[in-house]
Amino acid sequence: MFNCRVCNHQIEPFMDFGPMPIANGFLKKEEFAEEYFFRMEVAFCDHCGAFQLVEQPDAQRMFHENYAFFSSLSKHMQIHFKAYADFVMERFFAGRKDPFVVELGSNDGIMLRNFKEAGYRHLGVEPSENVADVARAQGIQTISEFFNLELAERLVAEYGHADAVICANVMCHIPDINNVAAGMAKLLKPDGVLMFEDPYLGDMIAKTSYDQIYDEHVYIFSATSVSWAFGQHGLELIDVLPQVTHGGSMRYVFAPKGSHAISPNVAALLEKERAQGLHKAETYEQFRRNCEASRTALFGLLERLHQEGKRVVGYGATSKSTTVLNYCGIRPEHIEFISDTTPIKQGKYSPGVHIPVRPYEEFKQNPPDYALLFAWNHAVEIFEKEGAFTADGGKWITFVPEVRVLE
């Protein structure tokens, strides 16, 4: 038993993934012996609806000066974040005098650059120095700290209250959600808005996309759980907007209670979540069984291809791939290497399983028989790019929503 991070209610794990390394901790061969592992278990709180990790590694192990994810490498994410910024500016900045936006986890400035180009005051709060440096080099005002109530008070003193606090794929990383929610309530103007999007629990359950679960994702949110968490701090959910990013995400819009009209989208999504059974323990027991079946099927497919002498290469050295590789017991003999375009990952090895990560050029020059699509949430972008691989007889293996080979 342990206490829920959101409501302090006692809960217990329903699923154990076993020992798991840092998902984005791609490493050199000489670092194998000292690699860090933690026990990855998940639990559901039937009191507040929070789906969460039982244990999360210290933040400094995950977000640091060598953080290996740069958002701007994806063309589709550039388009997505421009649309996100435009939505904020058009819906909430119209008619406001000199509005000020703060983004938490601003990465390399992929979203804030749109506010900078539009002439708005802005500030990025990005704890990983290497990606923050990329943003600063573009003239995007960025500080490298972890956000909390104390920092919020300092920001108000230095910059004033914010018209909008925004983030994407960040809120689910923060274990002390109550401290951060209190900080956001402090930072916002009385009629300001808080907006964030993260992988959505309803989609994860429906697709058996268990690879959404890894060290950084201390929560997988639903409208039910975020309403409970932020409602404790005087913020109410005023809108929800489904997103296709990361295999199914939800954008949540909050505001100080009573300051904005509430969209009918909110009640509709809360009702949909009840119909899906997101409030029931048996839903998560079935999810566990579905995950185990998927694990068996994927390992069996890769083992058969190995016995047949087929070459299989992983496509995308993602954080998600770490969960899949370690949970499913996949070994280097199953996957020759993982192809990735991120220079900081190339020449290293995947966490835990130690499959080599090689430049994308090797995939192009010597195409495998099968490509295991770890970056399935970018499938549209990838398939547009890899028409030649498919035309030449290459086959894709996917595992979401089910394990199958795409001819």
Residues 146 and 210 both lie in one domain:
yes
Q: What would you report as the CA-atom Rg of the chain, rounded to the nearest whole angstrom? A: 21
Instruction: Tell me what pLDDT residue 66 has.
Output: 54
Asked if 237 and 147 sit in the same domain, the reply is yes
Which residues are registered as beta bridge partners of 2? Answer: 11
Q: How far apart are CA 181 and CA 179, in angstroms?
A: 6
- Residue 19 is assigned to a structural domain of this protein: no
Q: Are residues 236 and 360 in the same domain?
A: no
CA pair distance 345, 357, nearest whole angstrom: 7
266 and 308 belong to one structural domain: no
Partnered with residue 231 across adjacent β-strands are none
Which residue(s) pair with 273 in the sheet? none
Predicted confidence at residue 65, as pLDDT, reads 54
C-alpha count within 13 angstroms, C-beta hemisphere, residue 154: 9
pLDDT for 47: 95
CATH number of the domain where residue 273 is located? 3.40.50.150
Per the listing, tokens 């996100």 go with: 84
Mean pLDDT for each consecutive 10-residue tract of the chain (407 residues)? 94 96 95 96 96 86 53 72 95 93 93 95 92 91 94 97 96 94 97 97 97 95 97 97 88 98 98 97 97 98 98 96 98 98 94 98 96 92 92 96 93
A 10 A CB-CB count for 207 gives 17
DSSP string covering 189-228: EEEEEEEEEEEBHHHHHHHT-GGG-STT-SEEB-HHHHHH
What is the domain-level CATH number for residue 352? 3.40.50.720
Please indicate, yes or no, whether residues 310 and 269 belong to a single structural domain of this protein: no
In a domain, 289, yes or no: no
Closest CA to 20 of 336, 358, 353: 353
Instruction: Look at residue 11 and tell me if it is in a domain.
Output: no
83 and 128 assigned to the same domain:
yes
Q: Are 56 and 218 in contact (CB under 8 A)?
A: yes
Q: Number of folded domains in the chain?
A: 2
Q: What is the pLDDT of residue 381?
A: 86
- C-alpha pair distances (Å), 318 with each of 269, 342, 351, 364: 30, 10, 10, 19
Q: Are residues 265 and 328 located together in one domain of the fold?
A: no
Q: Is 24 part of any domain?
A: no
Q: What is the pLDDT of residue 127?
A: 87
What secondary structure letter does DSSP report for 47?
T
Could you tell me the residue range of the domain that residue 137 belongs to? 71-279
Q: Is 178 a domain residue?
A: yes
Say what the pLDDT of residue 103 is.
Answer: 96
Confirm whether 294 is domain-assigned: no
Same-domain check for residues 110 and 248: yes
**Does the residue 216 lie in any domain?**
yes
Residue 7 lies in a domain: no
